[in-house]
Chain A
Amino acid sequence: MIYKSRLIGAVEIGTSKVTVLVGELMRGRTLNIVGLGSCPSHGVIKGGVVDYKEASACTHSAFRAAEEGAGASVDAVYLAQTGAHLEGFYNEASVSVNAADNCVGALDIETVCRLAMAKELPEGRAVVHHIRRPFRLDGRLVSDPEHLVGQRLEVGYWTVHGSEAKIGDHIHVITGFNLRVDELILSSLASGTMVTTPEERQNGVLVLDIGCGTTDYALYHDGVAYQTGVIPVGGDHFTNDLSLGLRLTRLQAEKLKVRYGSAVLKSHDKQDKVWLNGDYSVGDRQFTRQSIEQITSVRARELFDVVRGKLGAAFVPEQTPVGVILTGGAAKMPGMDEAAGKVFGVPGRIGESASWVADELRDPGYSTPLGLLYFGLNSQTERIPSARRQDGILGSLKRILVAP
């Protein structure tokens, strides 16, 4: 029997870099990472395309590198979506079970799902995800109510929507390379799927993907993403704060941040100083370690406070026993997990990729493109249970790979 393999490109157009991973889907079951392309990002600010040509050039360059590594052309593209334009809301619906014997049928499920998803969006907005929460049948949680007996069926959807124009910009960067976007996946969901286990998502966990220009978050309960969001604060703000506070250029501030930045104040000795360059060159200056850490720790605390504020009542520490998991390039700053733990009142840690991920891809910066491939193949969030068998070949593929 001949099995066809398919090359899937996972693309993250970030503020600092564009990453393309090429995965080969073999026999519909095995996914091998066969190509990697990365390029410094231009024309992208806070996850949004501001210069189409620049953004296209670096994205296509990363694509070329990935395809050369893979030795073949990509067949389909899964694109990560981030940016402050992305918003979400919760909407739920309920129906009375139609059958005389109160046995829930496929039509009841489809009706309640469609009602819950049918909320009009403002002009110029497009849905990115409908994330379904568990069904409630007469108040009890059920994962699949079909053939169960009850009188009232309820379901809720967390709908993520974004600016049609900004989403279109991202898509057109890909289509400018003569490729089509097959799946558009929220960055936080992609990285969240990668750095957490199904058990952790079931118990309750908050995932923060701190990038260069934005921070994406996803709060999981009962195995699904209850709330997602994006704030336009990322690693760049740490650099900016250092640049303003210490009167440095952005390049110098970035260097200091990477070397001495910390999300918690560890140094209390004002005599503990560090050199800007350390090579005694003209213009080389000394700074107290404390001043650097003060600036970065304040920014880190503010970032986590903003996230906590956005989550509002949805975040309950008792319902998030697994804690906060941090990923993304800026999460590598020392003390981020500790700072997050203090703000959210739950344990914090840096997310790690699964054991099957190759060493060169274990950096937190690759969790989103890896998650795109993983999430894209396993996603069931937008599917109406009764309509599962009508969603084409990719749907069949995903059903085979569905995670428990």
Chain B
Amino acid sequence: MSLPATIPPPSRSWKDIRQEVSPRAMSKEGHRRKTLAGLKFAGICALVFGALTAGIEIYLTWENNPASIKDPGGGVPLKQLAFSTDGVLDRAWLERTLALPKKASLMSLDLAALEQRLLASGQAQSVMLRRRFADNCLVVAAQERVPVARLMAQVDDEPARLRLVARDGTVFEGVGYEPAALEKLPWLDGVHLRRSAQHGIQPITEMGRTAELLQTAGRLVPDLFSGWQVVSLARMDSDQEILVHSTLIPDIVFDARDEFPRQLARLDYIVDFLRTKGAPSLQRIDLALGGQVPVELQEAVPLKPARVAPHKTVSQPNKQRRDL
């Protein structure tokens, strides 16, 4: 159905009046608005054009070489490594551990995998990696574990090698340490080492109190501590005792449940006391018996009467012992 043909066309409406004005008829503000509107339109056009171009580019790349989408910076190789640490690890270790391909590009690097690779050594406690695009640089910042003891361990068929033990029980091959510094660390004995999945050694769980003892001794009685050669955890599980073999005293027994500063103070007192009595050779001091501290001498020496601190007791053993 349609309208009858006899109806005349509608009259001219105000909407038929041309709304455009010549630029000369526009005010300054009108020109400014027109310019802004033009710029806005151009900006939107540019945005749409850019988005379309990018879309087409991505589509074509996806069609021809999908792999290159994952590595858009593939053409720009990694130029340098920037390494910083709070310990002794060096750039050579970093390069050796990362083992990056020669022509690796910055964008192709799997930072998460590289981080795991660096942490696997055990010496690095935390690692932060980031890309610096300004100079195509991979920035690595590491925080290292501090060793408190050392041990010799053999994994699989490899020959036994020196390993270091950190406060948290992590066992790692120390890299970059001065041999003299390592010589000062006591040996760890009497621990059950377990292999980890990555051909390493699982952390030593009993290390927490032991590390505390070593740290406290190093701080409070550095002279005595310097002579500590072996720290044994053989009786840790059964008796909660830590046995220390030192150059001055072959056997010192600490109670892991008691406070170490008090035990160390007693030890220091006893050694000083005996020194005033002619410094007899000591065989064993057992600090794990509370108020009673049995001191075992290598040779029987008659003691001169002396004032003894009221909270400490020094008992003279009636027999000599040579070994543990």
Counting contact residues on chain A (CB < 8 A from B), the size range is 35 or more
On whether the beta carbons of A178 and B30 are closer than 8 Å, the reply is: yes
Closest 8 CB pairs of A and B: A178-B33, A118-B8, A178-B34, A127-B13, A177-B30, A178-B30, A176-B26, A126-B14
List the A residue with the shortest CB-CB distance to B16: A126
Pick the contact of B9: A57, A115, A118, A161 (CB < 8 A). A118
Q: Cβ of A374: which chain B residues have Cβ within 8 Å of it?
A: none
Known interface pairs A57-B27, A126-B16. Does A178 touch B11 (Cβ–Cβ under 8 Å)? no
List the A residue with the shortest CB-CB distance to B6: A115
- In the bound assembly, the distance between CA atoms of A385 and B290 in angstroms comes to 105
Q: How many A-B residue pairs have CB under 8 A?
A: 84
7 of the cross-chain contacts (CB-CB < 8 Å) are A111-B3, A114-B3, A126-B14, A164-B12, A175-B20, A177-B33, A180-B19
On whether the beta carbons of B8 and A60 are closer than 8 Å, the reply is: no
List the A residue with the shortest CB-CB distance to B25: A176
> Is B180 interfacial (CB-CB < 8 Å)?
no
CB distance from B102 to the nearest CB of A (A): 52
Contact surface of B with A, Cβ cutoff 8 Å: 1, 3-4, 7-14, 16-21, 25-27, 29-31, 33-34, 37
On whether the beta carbons of B14 and A184 are closer than 8 Å, the reply is: yes
On whether the beta carbons of B1 and A107 are closer than 8 Å, the reply is: yes
- Other than the known A56-B27, A167-B17, what 12 A-B pairs have Cβ atoms closer than 8 Å? A64-B29, A73-B33, A114-B3, A118-B7, A118-B8, A118-B10, A167-B14, A176-B30, A177-B27, A178-B34, A178-B37, A181-B19
Pick the contact of A128: B1, B4, B8, B14 (CB < 8 A). B14
Pick the contact of A52: B10, B18, B25, B29 (CB < 8 A). B25
- In the bound assembly, the distance between CA atoms of A168 and B12 in angstroms comes to 13
Pick the contact of A121: B4, B7, B11, B25 (CB < 8 A). B11
Cβ < 8 Å to B, chain A residues 211-256: none
On whether the beta carbons of B16 and A120 are closer than 8 Å, the reply is: no
List the A residue with the shortest CB-CB distance to B4: A111
Q: Cβ of B21: which chain A residues have Cβ within 8 Å of it?
A: 172, 175-176
Q: Cβ of B29: which chain A residues have Cβ within 8 Å of it?
A: 60, 63-64, 177
On whether the beta carbons of A171 and B27 are closer than 8 Å, the reply is: no
CB distance from B8 to the nearest CB of A (A): 4
Known interface pairs A107-B1, A175-B21, A176-B21. Does A60 touch B30 (Cβ–Cβ under 8 Å)? yes
On whether the beta carbons of B3 and A126 are closer than 8 Å, the reply is: no
List the A residue with the shortest CB-CB distance to B17: A168
Q: Cβ of A184: which chain B residues have Cβ within 8 Å of it?
A: 14
Q: Cβ of A119: which chain B residues have Cβ within 8 Å of it?
A: 11
Q: Cβ of B34: which chain A residues have Cβ within 8 Å of it?
A: 178
List the B residue with the shortest CB-CB distance to A52: B25
Q: Cβ of B19: which chain A residues have Cβ within 8 Å of it?
A: 171-172, 175, 180-181
Contact surface of A with B, Cβ cutoff 8 Å: 52, 56-57, 60, 63-64, 73, 107, 110-111, 114-115, 117-121, 125-128, 159, 161-162, 164, 167-168, 171-172, 175-181, 184
Pick the contact of A110: B3, B8, B26 (CB < 8 A). B3
CB distance from A72 to the nearest CB of B (A): 13
On whether the beta carbons of B4 and A126 are closer than 8 Å, the reply is: no
CB distance from B182 to the nearest CB of A (A): 67
CB distance from B15 to the nearest CB of A (A): 8
On whether the beta carbons of A115 and B7 are closer than 8 Å, the reply is: yes
Q: Cβ of A57: which chain B residues have Cβ within 8 Å of it?
A: 27
- In the bound assembly, the distance between CA atoms of A27 and B17 in angstroms comes to 31
Q: Cβ of B7: which chain A residues have Cβ within 8 Å of it?
A: 111, 114-115, 118
Pick the contact of B25: A114, A161, A172 (CB < 8 A). A172
Pick the contact of A178: B4, B10, B12, B26 (CB < 8 A). B26
On whether the beta carbons of B12 and A126 are closer than 8 Å, the reply is: yes
Q: Which of A121, A127, A128, A167 has its CB near the most chain B CB atoms (within 10 A)?
A: A127
- In the bound assembly, the distance between CA atoms of A60 and B29 in angstroms comes to 7
- In the bound assembly, the distance between CA atoms of A60 and B30 in angstroms comes to 8
- In the bound assembly, the distance between CA atoms of A175 and B20 in angstroms comes to 7
On whether the beta carbons of A60 and B11 are closer than 8 Å, the reply is: no
List the A residue with the shortest CB-CB distance to B19: A175
- In the bound assembly, the distance between CA atoms of A107 and B29 in angstroms comes to 48
- In the bound assembly, the distance between CA atoms of A273 and B14 in angstroms comes to 52
- In the bound assembly, the distance between CA atoms of A119 and B11 in angstroms comes to 7
List the B residue with the shortest CB-CB distance to A174: B19
Q: Cβ of A125: which chain B residues have Cβ within 8 Å of it?
A: 12
Pick the contact of A120: B4, B8, B20 (CB < 8 A). B8
Pick the contact of A127: B14, B20, B26, B30 (CB < 8 A). B14
Pick the contact of A171: B10, B17, B30 (CB < 8 A). B17
On whether the beta carbons of A60 and B27 are closer than 8 Å, the reply is: yes
Q: Cβ of A179: which chain B residues have Cβ within 8 Å of it?
A: 33
List the B residue with the shortest CB-CB distance to A159: B11
List the A residue with the shortest CB-CB distance to B33: A178
List the A residue with the shortest CB-CB distance to B28: A60
On whether the beta carbons of B12 and A114 are closer than 8 Å, the reply is: no
List the B residue with the shortest CB-CB distance to A53: B27
Q: Cβ of B12: which chain A residues have Cβ within 8 Å of it?
A: 121, 125-127, 164
Q: Which of B4, B11, B26 has its CB near the most chain A CB atoms (within 10 A)?
A: B11
Q: Which of A57, A64, A118, A121 has its CB near the most chain B CB atoms (within 10 A)?
A: A118
CB distance from B60 to the nearest CB of A (A): 33
On whether the beta carbons of A117 and B10 are closer than 8 Å, the reply is: yes
- In the bound assembly, the distance between CA atoms of A184 and B16 in angstroms comes to 12
- In the bound assembly, the distance between CA atoms of A178 and B16 in angstroms comes to 18
Q: Cβ of A161: which chain B residues have Cβ within 8 Å of it?
A: 11
Q: Cβ of A167: which chain B residues have Cβ within 8 Å of it?
A: 14, 17
Q: Cβ of B18: which chain A residues have Cβ within 8 Å of it?
A: 168
- In the bound assembly, the distance between CA atoms of A117 and B19 in angstroms comes to 24
Pick the contact of A117: B3, B11, B30 (CB < 8 A). B11
Pick the contact of B11: A111, A115, A118 (CB < 8 A). A118
- In the bound assembly, the distance between CA atoms of A176 and B10 in angstroms comes to 29
- In the bound assembly, the distance between CA atoms of A180 and B19 in angstroms comes to 7
Q: Which of B1, B14, B20, B21 has its CB near the most chain A CB atoms (within 10 A)?
A: B14
- In the bound assembly, the distance between CA atoms of A161 and B10 in angstroms comes to 13
CB distance from A88 to the nearest CB of B (A): 13
CB distance from A367 to the nearest CB of B (A): 22
List the B residue with the shortest CB-CB distance to A98: B1
- In the bound assembly, the distance between CA atoms of A172 and B13 in angstroms comes to 16
CB distance from B29 to the nearest CB of A (A): 5
- In the bound assembly, the distance between CA atoms of A10 and B179 in angstroms comes to 88
CB distance from B45 to the nearest CB of A (A): 18
CB distance from A218 to the nearest CB of B (A): 18
Q: Cβ of A162: which chain B residues have Cβ within 8 Å of it?
A: 14
Q: Cβ of A114: which chain B residues have Cβ within 8 Å of it?
A: 3, 7, 10
